[in-house]
A and B are shown apart, each in its own frame.
Chain A
Amino acid sequence: MNAPVAPRLELTATIAFEAVPIDCAKEAVPPAGPRKARRLGRGDKVAFGWLLGPFLLLLAWTTGSAAGLIDARILPSPWATLATAVGLIGDGRLQANLAVSALRAGEGFAWGVLAGSMLGLVAGLSQLGDYAIDGLVQIKRSIPTLALIPLLVLWFGIGETMKVTVIAISVFIPMYIQLHTALRGVDVRRLELAETLGLSRWRFIRHVVLPGTVPGFMTGLRFGVMGAWLALVVVEQLNATSGIGYMINLARTYAQSDVILVGLVVYALLGLTSDAAVRWLEARVLVWRRTLAG
């Protein structure tokens, strides 16, 4: 009945959550009565339990820095890093670089989604389009996008065009693959239904085929977002004059590990925020789908 279930991305946070053996002590209590069965589950879940791991890491970092066990040149203390972040925000450098990076990633992402959707639709809906496009994309897929950077630098120089192109290609591939797969995987039973209902080809595509590809499209978006940030990090190492990556590179030159840390935290926040945004969109678009998560 359901559309082919696309592979779901698991956040590392979820994995950490499941691995934490909270409340194990309760399970260890011997059963009271003779009829009580031994519980073999992993223990009860606790809200925000996944924060335990990050909290322990933060605790180790703080105590290590306070006790002088961690060399500040290798890893500055949490409060020094925080002060650096406040300083970077205060003089506006963080916001300016963040804006440049976000715009860069956003532009590449938009082009990638557009191209991936258009070509995915053409290849998924017509056999001729499939022959014309899919072979090429499959060949491209076997070449990591980042390996194309030298060629793209020769073609487009080291400016914004090259950077946005690399990001767009990184987004294009998962978008295309997911959409194309979803379009080709239309359930034959739905095809039969449409035939017995006498649907026109257009109504068949609009009401039966396309809505069924939305889960695949959303999966493509989530992979695409990840691809965009990955590509952004790489292209910002290449002779950038602005952006979070530029800020980090500059900090490396002056051995400012606190600035590097702030940059990494910003990357993490960007990734988490955009993934949450796509999930939010997914929940809105896929209201008709019953999920285990409820």
Chain B
Amino acid sequence: MNAGSMSAADAPIVRVRALVRRFTLRGVLNGVDLDIRRGEFVALLGRSGSGKSTLLRALADLDHEAQGSGTIVTPERLSVVFQDARLLPWMRVLDNVVLGLKGPGARARARGLRALGEVELAERARSWPYELSGGEQQRVALARSLVRDPELLLADEPFGALDALTRLRMHALLGRLSAVHKPAVLLVTHDVDEAVALADRVVVLADGRLAADIAVPKGRDGRVGVVDAGALRRRLLALLGVTEFHESIPASMNEEKLTIEQ
């Protein structure tokens, strides 16, 4: 989260070189190079179909079927948060959180409870997943990832299925937790505001390559200044092929324009 962590032992813990992935005929990744330092929060932006998820799945070693080449180095302790929470419905919340932990049950459960406390769901430890809301389920999934004390957290549009208000609360939570645990994070998203608010660095994937790699300027309080955020937002949107006429023109005129086009 903070720029200060990029000092001494900062050899990248994620190292991707010349990564190529193909599915049947269409090339999805076409020579991607990416380094992520220890504790660094990187947001990966791209239009739908740009290969964001393909890159994340390659890092998570989940792309058994894909053909391709290139080098990938990732740390041993790695967690994935998916867009859907993927809780096992037949396990209570706490059992879901500790599912991947090895070692004695009592200690694992204590760790699991602590992780649930961090996502403010300690009192739901005995609930069944279906009793939770979508946002709560995703918080449990976050606890399941963090309880493993990961060096790298891979998140594939983890807030994509949540409503706008819940998403904002989840942003704050993820920001807080990554500041405490300091895993390296690769957050795949198509939400420019989410990327700017959370990440130290934003990379944009286009045509199978990284089209941009932009550090997010953050003030002493760890927040992005309004002016910086606005400029960065426009730049990123432009990279994603969105021109921002609708922000400078009142909504009514926007509609008028649409009518004329029809």
CB distance from A292 to the nearest CB of B (A): 12
CB distance from B64 to the nearest CB of A (A): 9
| Least CB separation from B85: chain A residue | A1
- Contact present for A193 and B82 (CB under 8 Å): yes
Interface of B (DSSP majority class)? loop
- Contact present for A189 and B91 (CB under 8 Å): no
Give the residue of A190, A198, A289 whose beta carbon is less than 8 angstroms from that of B86.
A190
Q: Which residues of B contact A3 (CB under 8 A)?
A: 89
CB distance from A211 to the nearest CB of B (A): 4
Q: With A196-B78, A207-B99, A288-B128 known to touch, is A212 a contact of B90 (CB < 8 Å)?
A: yes
Query: Is A152 interfacial (CB-CB < 8 Å)?
Result: no
- Contact present for B80 and A196 (CB under 8 Å): yes
Query: Is A197 interfacial (CB-CB < 8 Å)?
Result: yes
Query: Is A192 interfacial (CB-CB < 8 Å)?
Result: yes
Question: Number of B residues whose C-beta is below 8 Å from A?
Answer: 21
Query: Is A80 interfacial (CB-CB < 8 Å)?
Result: no
- Contact present for B88 and A198 (CB under 8 Å): no
Give the residue of B62, B84, B100, B144 whose beta carbon is less than 8 angstroms from that of A198.
B100
CB distance from B152 to the nearest CB of A (A): 11
CB distance from B74 to the nearest CB of A (A): 12
Query: Roughly how many angstroms separate A57 CA and B128 CA in the complex, as a whole number?
Result: 45
Question: Number of A residues whose C-beta is below 8 Å from B?
Answer: 21
CB distance from B127 to the nearest CB of A (A): 10
Give the residue of B86, B90, B91, B130 whose beta carbon is less than 8 angstroms from that of A214.
B90
Query: Is A38 interfacial (CB-CB < 8 Å)?
Result: no
Query: Is B79 interfacial (CB-CB < 8 Å)?
Result: yes
CB distance from B220 to the nearest CB of A (A): 36
- Contact present for A193 and B86 (CB under 8 Å): yes
Query: Roughly how many angstroms separate A192 CA and B86 CA in the complex, as a whole number?
Result: 10
Query: Interface code A182-218, partner B: CB below 8 Å = 1, 0 otherwise?
Result: 0000000110110111110000000110011010000
Give the residue of A1, A199, A207 whose beta carbon is less than 8 angstroms from that of B89.
A1
- Contact present for B89 and A197 (CB under 8 Å): no
- Contact present for B84 and A211 (CB under 8 Å): no
- Contact present for B100 and A211 (CB under 8 Å): no
Query: Is A56 interfacial (CB-CB < 8 Å)?
Result: no
Query: Roughly how many angstroms separate A199 CA and B98 CA in the complex, as a whole number?
Result: 11
| Least CB separation from B87: chain A residue | A1
Query: Is B162 interfacial (CB-CB < 8 Å)?
Result: no
- Contact present for B82 and A195 (CB under 8 Å): no
Query: Roughly how many angstroms separate A36 CA and B148 CA in the complex, as a whole number?
Result: 58
Q: Which of B84, B86, B90, B130 has the most CB of A within 10 A?
A: B90
Query: Is B60 interfacial (CB-CB < 8 Å)?
Result: yes
CB distance from B104 to the nearest CB of A (A): 15
- Contact present for A207 and B78 (CB under 8 Å): no
Query: Interface code B124-163, partner A: CB below 8 Å = 1, 0 otherwise?
Result: 0000111000000000000010001000000000000000
Q: Which residues of B contact A1 (CB under 8 A)?
A: 84, 86-87, 89
Query: Is A290 interfacial (CB-CB < 8 Å)?
Result: yes
- Contact present for B88 and A196 (CB under 8 Å): no
CB distance from A140 to the nearest CB of B (A): 32
Q: Which residues of B contact A196 (CB under 8 A)?
A: 60, 62, 78-80
- Contact present for B128 and A287 (CB under 8 Å): yes
Query: Interface code B39-82, partner A: CB below 8 Å = 1, 0 otherwise?
Result: 00000000000000000000011100000000000000011101
Query: Roughly how many angstroms separate A242 CA and B60 CA in the complex, as a whole number?
Result: 65
Query: Roughly how many angstroms separate A214 CA and B89 CA in the complex, as a whole number?
Result: 12
- Contact present for B91 and A207 (CB under 8 Å): yes
CB distance from A4 to the nearest CB of B (A): 13
Q: Which residues of B contact A190 (CB under 8 A)?
A: 86, 88
- Contact present for A288 and B100 (CB under 8 Å): no
Query: Roughly how many angstroms separate A47 CA and B91 CA in the complex, as a whole number?
Result: 34
Query: Roughly how many angstroms separate A260 CA and B165 CA in the complex, as a whole number?
Result: 68
- Contact present for A208 and B62 (CB under 8 Å): no
Query: Is A2 interfacial (CB-CB < 8 Å)?
Result: yes
- Contact present for A211 and B79 (CB under 8 Å): no
Q: Which residues of B contact A212 (CB under 8 A)?
A: 90
Question: In A1-43, which residues have CB < 8 Å from any B CB?
Answer: 1-3
Query: Roughly how many angstroms separate A193 CA and B89 CA in the complex, as a whole number?
Result: 13
Query: Roughly how many angstroms separate A254 CA and B7 CA in the complex, as a whole number?
Result: 100
- Contact present for A189 and B82 (CB under 8 Å): yes
CB distance from B148 to the nearest CB of A (A): 8
Query: Roughly how many angstroms separate A206 CA and B75 CA in the complex, as a whole number?
Result: 28
Q: Which residues of A contact B84 (CB under 8 A)?
A: 1, 189
Give the residue of A195, A289, A290 whose beta carbon is less than 8 angstroms from that of B62.
A195
Q: Which residues of B contact A207 (CB under 8 A)?
A: 88, 91, 99
Task: List 15 contacting pairs A-B, 8 Å CB cutoff, sorted by A.
Answer: A3-B89, A189-B84, A192-B80, A193-B80, A193-B86, A196-B80, A197-B99, A198-B100, A199-B99, A207-B91, A211-B90, A288-B90, A288-B91, A288-B128, A289-B130
> Nearest 5 A-B pairs (CB), nearest first?
A197-B100, A211-B90, A290-B130, A196-B80, A288-B90
* With A189-B86, A190-B88 already in contact, 8 other A-B pairs whose C-beta atoms are closer than 8 Å: A193-B86, A196-B62, A197-B100, A207-B91, A211-B88, A211-B91, A214-B90, A288-B129
